[in-house]
Amino acid sequence: MEEESIINMRNCRIGEVLSPALESVSWRLCAGEAWAVVGPSGGGKDAFSAAVAGRLHVAPGEGGWYRNGFTGRTALVSFEAAAELLRQERYNDDSDFVEGGISEGTSVRSFIGAALPEEDSRTYPCGVGLENHPAVIACGLVARPADQRAYGEVPGGVDAGLLDRGLKRLSTGECRRALLARALASKPGLIVAIDPYEGLDTATRSRLHAMLDALAAASVAGVAAAPAVLIVDRFEHLPVAVNRIVELAAGAIVFSGTRAEYETMLSSRAAASPALGFTTQAVPESTCQRGANPSGEPLVELRNVTVSWSGRAVLDGISWTVRRGEHWLVRGPNGSGKTTLLELITGDNPQAYREDVRVFGQRRGSGGTVWELKSRLGIVSYRLHLEYRYLDQSSLEDVLVSGLRDSIGLYTCASDGERALASAWLALAGFQGREHERFGRLSFGEQRALLVARAAIKAPELLVLDEPCHGLDEEQRRFVMSLLSAIAARGVSTMLHVTHDPDEVQSFEQHILELRPGSIPSWSILPSCIFK
């Protein structure tokens, strides 16, 4: 019966009054249900999930009805939440006023402690003793004995010092773990987790999957004080305890029902979309593409490089050479230094100028301009995505043209040739006819797909890809994987690729750099790409 619904939307609009993201939405969440939201990027699942979490306005239409029994008791774990967290840390950064020029900012301990309910605040005053909190243990923020199984934890050792590190020092995966631990520790009525596994290493994914499955099972079983669960992810990633599915596409709910009913519907659907089948000819020629260069020339050289933050070595004595035509997979657990390594190459880490880091034969800081090096690089990264989130009014066309200019944003008018090239790439990436749409109006997955195209548009000599498929739906994932294969076949760009997903490893990635924190040495070069 409807009066048993905890959340009830009947004929509701979601989003701004004059330009709602979704219209005529009808959906209910009842006790004994654990829900998942699926569907393509840009189809409406982000807006729907934000509305359920209380982050977007919901207004009943004619004859409609809206009730949310979780108002004020919802925890959201998402890229947007992580981006806002880092934005605040950047705004409050007082490193310029600290002796030595380094400030840790807000620690993970303080971040979680601030969200504790009153009764737990007395148990863990000012975050003291949080090492023993079940949510902290379950999210792998401290090392615990192998028999610890709170919240469905999978046994395994983790970084014992994570609680006392600054939020701004965390890797992408570590930041997500901290957000989830805070969400659980706050004891919400509802947890909304958007793409919870993105950016996590294999061990952490396993731990998190077990934890979410346990939470969903507790919600379905009606365990007292267990939060309701709403997970936004690909269907094949969902914990088995999730028993309800809502699918959104083209701005509308196209399915809402039991998991069994959804699986039956999937089996009866038409065959999957055909593969994109890119060829080297399908990738538009760049106006700034360089001529052929000899294979084997060193593009990147790191010579006994060590990078430390607050006395902790993120990279320790690494020596590594990338030669033209060698496509590398870079892998390692969360916090092992993968992003730091790539930022030494791109020049986004200031310690690159202290260490012996050579890019295109030139040591960082020895002469030449940053722009000369950037003109030969294409980059997809979490940092770049964050930067573009601050330029959400940029048009899609301008975002692509900025890839030709090596700028964050576009500050002069694009030429006719640049616009024509951008138009061809927009069509290739599935954005045909959307040149003037604003970047901020795209879903997270659509933004990421566009930034991949931005990195590739100028056919750079070195293409640096840090989790390029983060947040992409299946069609966008096929686009990116096919695009990378076509780029490799063309032979102009050398690629460095970071991913935790074995399905994203490419056959042309025949070299592996594996980072192994805590080992001596802390890194290893493997001869062929066998993902283990």
Q: For residue 490, give the nearest of 283, 327, 300 by alpha carbon.
A: 283
Which tens digit of pLDDT belongs to each residue from 226-240? Answer: 899 999 999 999 999
Q: Say yes or no to pLDDT of 100 above 70.
A: no
Distances (CA, A) of 497 to 218, 338, 341: 38, 10, 12
Q: Say yes or no to pLDDT of 281 above 80.
A: no
* Domain extent listing, the chain: 1-73+188-272, 298-526
Burial 497-515 (b: 16+ CB within 10 A, else e): bbbbbeebbbeebebbbbb
Distance CA 438, CA 435 (A): 9
Which tens digit of pLDDT belongs to each residue from 164-198? Answer: 888 888 877 788 888 989 998 999 999 999 998 88
> How does residue 279 score in pLDDT terms, banded at 50, 70 and 90?
low
Distances (CA, A) of 118 to 123, 124, 138: 9, 10, 21
The dihedral formed by the CA atoms of 454, 458, 463 and 465, expressed in degrees to the nearest 10: 10
Topology alike, domains 1-73+188-272 and 298-526: yes
Q: Say yes or no to pLDDT of 492 above 50.
A: yes
Q: Say yes or no to pLDDT of 144 above 70.
A: no
How many CA atoms lie within 13 Å of 285's alpha carbon, on the beta-carbon side? 5
**What pLDDT is attached to residue 529?**
53
Distance CA 472, CA 377 (A): 23
Q: CB under 8 Å to 434, separation ≥6 — which residues?
A: 396, 426
Q: Token digits for 519?
A: 């080992």
* 1-73+188-272 is a CATH 3.40.50.300 domain: yes
Averaged pLDDT, 303-317: 87
Q: Say yes or no to pLDDT of 287 above 70.
A: no
Average pLDDT, the chain: 86
Dihedral pair phi/psi, residue 61, rounded to 5°: -85, -165
**What pLDDT is attached to residue 102?**
58
CB neighbours of residue 148 within 10 Å = 17
Q: CB under 8 Å to 239, separation ≥6 — which residues?
A: 209, 212, 213, 216, 231
Averaged pLDDT, 43-55: 94
Considering the domain 298-526 in this protein, what is its CATH number?
A: 3.40.50.300
The pTM (predicted TM-score) of the whole model is 0.82
Q: Higher model confidence: residue 340 or residue 87?
A: 340
Percent of the chain having pLDDT more than 90?
A: 54
